[in-house]
């Protein structure tokens, strides 16, 4: 719980003293504040349809179209593409069952899972962002009013949170190009998308490490193929299609980055019992 916006700022939870979005296009957004300032906002607890920044007069009336180029909106778009988690803060609001009774409350981490432009209730174009709460956090109250949405599976939202700082460094190193196919998935306004793939999975029982020698930059297809046993990598860094046992490509490398052969062997032999390579 926090008393006011200054309290949020001083604790580095939400830095802007007025703006609802903290972030920039280059770095992404790190937090949003739901304060009831936009009539088009929808708060369903575990997911939020959030209205972007801009277009309002000083009295809060919508008087012009919003733009995806506004710093906060552009930051949310970058967070969507990269998969950065967003801190969500709710302000006291009697009309919102998920809001605190007073002050401000930090309510956990969410991911931006989609974005679009539409005409708002006031007749102007508004930027819209869907944010889904990352699972395995404290349950929101009142739990009875949380609206489930089966269209967004737990595995989809949980998977993207594994994009660590180290994974982002690897993606930047390769310019978001897949090390197998060379593809950089195009996204909005010149952005590109890729995923940081841990060859030996993190955590128990695998005990892989979040280090460069255990990370690849992959497109979503080859990341999924690696994780599900459809793709293996030889000690010589050749990507092999498991179903045909044929070579797909030799991995592309940048200077000072190589994955440990032990991690390749663990993925082949311990995870999928595919040792004869």
Query: Residue 142, preceding bond cis, omega within 30 degrees?
Result: yes
CA atoms of 193 and 178, how far apart (whole Å)? 10
What average pLDDT does this structure show over 19-28? 93
134 contacts: CB under 8 Å, gap ≥ 6: 85, 108, 109, 110, 111, 157, 158, 161
What percent of the chain clears pLDDT 70, i.e. is strictly above it? 91
Q: For residue 20, is pLDDT > 50?
A: yes
Six-digit token string for 93: 């609001």
Domain coordinates of the chain in residue numbers?
5-160, 165-271
The answer, yes or no, to whether residue 64 has pLDDT greater than 60, is yes
Choose between 261 and 121: higher pLDDT: 261
pLDDT at 158 over 60: no
DSSP bridge partners of 249: 239
Mean pLDDT of 115-125: 86
Asked whether residue 153 carries a pLDDT value surpassing 50, the answer given is no
Tell me yes or no: is domain 5-160 CATH 3.40.50.970.
Answer: no
203 CB-contact burial (10 Å; exposed 0-12 / middle 13-18 / buried 19+): exposed
269, two tokens = 């032999």
Predicted structure pTM score: 0.67
DSSP 148-197: --TTS-HHHHHHHTT--HHHHHHHHHTTT--TTT---EE-GGG-EE-EEE
pLDDT of 227 > 90? The answer is no
Which structure tokens are listed for 65? 């179209």
pLDDT above 80: residue 160: no
Token pair of 129, please? 């962002």
pLDDT for 223 beyond 80: yes
Helix intervals (H) in the chain: 5-10, 71-82, 154-160, 165-173, 220-227, 261-265
Contact 100, 123 (CB under 8 A): no
Regarding predicted confidence, which is higher, 122 or 183?
183
Mean pLDDT of 34-45: 86
HSE (side-chain half, CA atoms, 13 Å) at 90: 24
Q: Measured between alpha carbons, how far is residue 253 from residues 171, 207, 209, 257 in Å?
A: 12, 25, 20, 7
Q: Which residues contact 74 (CB under 8 A, 6 or more apart)?
A: 24, 25, 68
User: Residue 141 above 50 pLDDT?
Assistant: yes
- The per-residue pLDDT of the chain, averaged, comes to 87
């Amino acid at each position: 719980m926090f008393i006011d916006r200054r309290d949020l700022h001083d604790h580095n939870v939400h830095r802007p003293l007025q703006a609802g979005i903290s972030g920039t296009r280059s770095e992404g957004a790190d937090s949003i504040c739901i304060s009831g300032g936009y009539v088009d906002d929808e708060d369903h607890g575990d997911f939020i349809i959030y209205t972007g920044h801009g277009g309002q007069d000083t009295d809060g009336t919508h008087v012009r179209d919003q733009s995806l180029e506004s710093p906060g909106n552009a930051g949310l778009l970058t967070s969507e593409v990269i998969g950065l988690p967003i801190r969500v803060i709710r302000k006291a609001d009697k009309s919102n069952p998920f809001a605190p009774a007073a002050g401000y409350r930090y309510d956990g981490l969410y991911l931006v899972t989609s974005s679009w432009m539409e005409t708002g209730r006031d007749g102007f174009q508004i930027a819209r962002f869907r944010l889904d709460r990352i699972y395995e956090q404290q349950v929101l109250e009142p739990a009875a009013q949380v609206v489930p949405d089966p269209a967004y599976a737990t595995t989809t939202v949980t998977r993207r949170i594994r994009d660590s700082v180290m994974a982002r460094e690897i993606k930047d190193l390769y310019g978001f190009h897949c090390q197998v196919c060379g593809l950089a998935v195009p996204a909005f306004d010149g952005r590109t998308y890729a995923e940081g793939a841990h060859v030996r999975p993190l955590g128990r029982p695998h005990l892989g490490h979040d280090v460069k020698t255990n990370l690849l930059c992959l497109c979503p297809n080859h990341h999924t193929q690696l994780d599900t046993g459809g793709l293996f990598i030889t000690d010589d860094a050749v990507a092999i299609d498991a179903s045909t046992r044929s070579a797909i490509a030799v991995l592309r490398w940048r200077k000072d980055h190589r994955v440990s052969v032990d991690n390749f062997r663990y993925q082949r032999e311990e995870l999928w019992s595919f040792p004869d390579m």
